[in-house]
Structure 1
Amino acid sequence: MASTKTCLTALLLSSLLLPLQSWGSPSPVADQAAQEAEADQAIDALDAPLYNAFTERYLLDEVRTLRQMIADLRVEATEKIVDREIMVASTAVRYATDTVTYFFYLIAGASTILVLVGWNSMRDIKERAGAFANEEIRRITASYEQRLDKLEEELHHKSRHIAQAQEEIELTNEIHSLWLKASQENTAEAKIAIYDQILELRTDDVEALTYKADAALLLGQAQWARSLANRALDIDPDNSHALYQRACAYAESDMPDEALRDLHRAIRKTDSLRLQAGRDSSFVSLHEHPRFLEMVVLPDRDEDHEDKTDDPASHA
């Protein structure tokens, strides 16, 4: 029995000293292994049970007492938590009640103030609210009516603009087809008839007047060509081709000064007319004129012979 107590004492001391030794030793893993080995040796050296019946009974009583204390502590903690929750709920209800009470006090005070300033009845309030609402409705309605009128006017304007643009596109397409048709005609009379159709569609078409003047020159109608060129220049005074056609008409009408004047203005605006004027048969009477020779570029004889074999309708 004495040896058993000695072993038990050694085991307890070793278990108590184990944390201290492991904390203070430089190599806790090795010391712990050594202590575990000593404990195993002490346990193996026991020749009697470690605990007797009285010790086991004591330990069981302590465990039961500890469980009872833990249960009592849990019940006490639950009671305290429930009490706190009840207190919080009561405080919230009290705050809500006070808020509602103060709100009703505020409404009552506001109603009293409204009565004091002259709004003696709910009917008066209703009438004033209705009048204000009607005034706002009239103002908003008038504003929207103005916006709708403006929008309607813009839509009409855009519709007219679109219709005009569509008409202009159709007119342009028709005139373009007439120009294509005129380019396929071989006689001056047929070309003039097509140019007249173009001028019926667009009276201020300078290009149509210019080409019609060129066709009139091909027919030998210099005065008519000059009149057509004048109409074109009334619309566009700086049109170089109209000036050129009028110069041709002046040259064929034996008016060299006027012809040279218009030709000079036309060449200043379009330099490529220098070469065309040198080849144009309308200026044959000016081939010996010094000013004419300074302004134009006369072709070689071989080129002149080739030009005579081509279509003479090349004024414009």
Structure 2
Amino acid sequence: MAANLITDVDGVRVGSADDAKLASGVTVVLFDEPAVASIAINGGAPALRDTALLEPEMTIERVDGFVLSGGSAFGLDAAGGVMAYLAEIGRGYEHRGARVPIVPGASLFDLLNGGDKGWGRKPPYWDLGLKAASTAAVLFALGSAGAGYGATTYNLKGGLGSASAVTSSGFRVGALVVVNSVGRATRGESLHFWAAPYERGAEFGGFGFGPQEIDDHLSLRLKSDTPSSTDLAVVVTDAALTTTQLKRVAIMAQDGYALALRPAHAPMDNDVVFAAATARAGAAADIRDLTEVGMLAAECVARAVARGVYEASPLAVPDGKPTWRQRRATSSTTK
């Protein structure tokens, strides 16, 4: 039975590790077998590792997983821990007896969220990456977990979100997003999410889009005027797609940020989307299928953004951002 998670796509597992004192963490998406992958980068301030190989003209087409982490560029160390775990279990690109796990990564900026970042000479992200990889499973926590532990938006606590869907031809699509946006996921200071038109069931509260006019909902509001925010996503399908086709899926999935956040693709955001295909569906995908996979990938990203904020729990730090649920408890807005 589908759990409305990226792991509804067969062959995908997710693991998270975080540290309350650090107020940061790591989330890993692992594939049971190497998956064809690509990437789209629309934000102006990315922190990336091993992402050049995801372009269609590069030789290595398949990856063992993706690594999302806090810690800004320090967090890119998390991939080393994930590689160590994968090497221990015999995974990786093989060449004449040598194996190198392929785990591209991206990091978000959470260095100013109130956690203790005084780690000295050795940032903790390598160890967090190892722990996240070794605990990867089909079911996993949302909200303030893993890479989403210390994430924030302009007005609310951010977090880790996920969602899934099925195309008209039966292909599964799933997304996982870490929401650390420079802007807002809600319409102004209300409880209504920008992603509300795409909500399924009451996966993020069921409050709907709200009235046509909401105070301040179209104003520019930024967490910072400097490059200090990031939204990271992984989208996966069980369709058999090429690297070039997945590049198109990643580009289309970027629109999910624009459906769920205001602003999106800002010069101070990262806004990365990794895209992968497990090819477990066992059916060929035509150009119409590719289009629907990309469309649903964008919608899953938007829904995952809202779920990440909706499921967040507060950070135990001074002056921490309120959560959506705390805002609801003090709001006069009703369904």
Q: Give the structure with higher Rg (CA).
A: 1
Higher helix share goes to which structure?
Answer: 1
Larger RCO: Structure 1 or Structure 2 (Cα < 8 Å, ≥ 6 residues apart)? Answer: 2
Higher strand share goes to which structure?
Answer: 2
TM-score, normalised via structure 1 length: 0.17
